[in-house]
Amino acid sequence: MKKIKIFATGGTIAGSGAAGKSAAYEAGHVDIEKLLQDLPDLGEIAQVSMEQICNKDSNDLTLSDWLLLAKKLNQAALESDLDGFVITHGTDTLEETAYFLNLVFKSEKPLVLTGAMRPATATSADGPMNLYQAIALAAHPDSVGQGVIALFSDNIFSSRDIRKTSNFKIDAFQHNDFACIGYMRDEIPYFYTRSFKKHTVATPFDVSALTALPKVEIVSYYVGADPAVLDHYLYREKVDGIVIAGSGSGNYAKAWKIKLEALAAVNIPIVRASRVSGIVLPAVTMDVATTICANTLTPQKARILLMLALTKTHQIDAIKAMFQEY
């Protein structure tokens, strides 16, 4: 029988609130041992062990939590009697943790994130089915080598492309573009597609000696947005990089481009991402010497790749190449 280890971090799947209610609750209250008691019998699917890493709303996770989790996972993946891993996680930032791990988890063993939109105490809580399916998915041979994946509401998602799009529906993650790569019916996964983008063992990123990550912040562009925010981050906060959540194709006003041209001498990478879905490509009307296109990454995922890229290089062209690869 496959041996699966669960790392629990909290979220609504571990939420507790007024009996039966879905909206009024606090995330990160119920421990993983109790959550497992609510599952149907796992039978021959897997033998499960568990570790409670923390128990919090996923908005309270920190970059130190990520480094700790990644190191523990990389260590556990070396154990020959563990076949796969599940992380229980809040949905608000699940896509960020999933993509971070997709770039730094050094194993082909399955790693599946899951969570819930209704707390454990709700009527028709969605957590137990998601957790049951996530364990079955982590134990399935088809999940080997898929990179980090997520399971939610019968859908299997690529961690690079998963995006939360509803803040109350139990089917809370976007299905179109490249996000959904398969379905599950009960404990059986059906994969249909996979990403060409490199992940896990095929990336150069190594967290084993890291105690902190480079400081990269996201700034939003909107009509009338003051480009002085860029000075603030570069000169006051002394960031190592910035992601601009631009409009449309990673766009902003001419005043922003003029400001970026003036700041280019500082040689800090600036990623042009977009607040809408699609692809951000080079554009003479927007780019300056230090800008890098986010490709199809959301601003929050572009930030993760930029942080990791900066652990390897500060050369703009080398970072540009990474945004094509991962």
Ligand X SMILES: NC(=O)C[C@H](N)C(=O)O
The residue among 16 and 195 lying less far from ligand X, judged by its C-beta, is 16
- CA-CA-CA-CA torsion sign (184, 185, 188, 192): negative
Q: How many residues bind ligand X, per CB under 6 A?
A: 11
Q: Closest Cα partner for 220 from 191, 189, 182, 256?
A: 256
Has 91 been annotated as catalytic?
A: yes
The residue among 115 and 227 lying less far from ligand X, judged by its C-beta, is 115
The answer to whether residue 27 forms part of the interface with ligand X (CB under 6 A) is yes
Q: Closest Cα partner for 11 from 97, 116, 99?
A: 116
- Using the structure block, give the residue that is written with the tokens 């909206």: 23
CA distance linking residue 89 with residue 147, whole number of Å: 17
Contact region for ligand X (CB under 6 A) — 56-64, 175-183, 205-213, 306-314? 56-64
Burial pattern 43-82, b for ≥16 Cβ within 10 A else e, equals eebbebebeebebbbbeebeeebbbebbeebbebbeeeeb
The answer to whether residue 90 forms part of the interface with ligand X (CB under 6 A) is yes
What H or E segment, with its residue span, contains residue 74? helix 63-77
Contact mark string toward ligand X, 116..155, x via CB under 6 A = -x--------------------------------------
The residue among 153 and 274 lying less far from ligand X, judged by its C-beta, is 153
The answer to whether residue 57 forms part of the interface with ligand X (CB under 6 A) is yes
Contact mark string toward ligand X, 92..111, x via CB under 6 A = x-------------------
The answer to whether residue 11 forms part of the interface with ligand X (CB under 6 A) is yes
Q: Is 128 left (phi over 0), alpha (psi -120 to 50) or beta?
A: alpha
CA distance linking residue 54 with residue 10, whole number of Å: 7
> Residue with CB nearest ligand X?
90
**Out of 22, 58, 174, 274, which residue is the one contacting ligand X (CB under 6 A)?**
58
Q: What's the one-letter identity of residue 59?
A: N
The residue among 126 and 187 lying less far from ligand X, judged by its C-beta, is 126
The residue among 104 and 113 lying less far from ligand X, judged by its C-beta, is 113
The residues annotated with a catalytic role in the active site are: 12, 91
State the residues that interact with ligand X by CB under 6 A.
11-12, 27, 57-59, 90-92, 115, 117
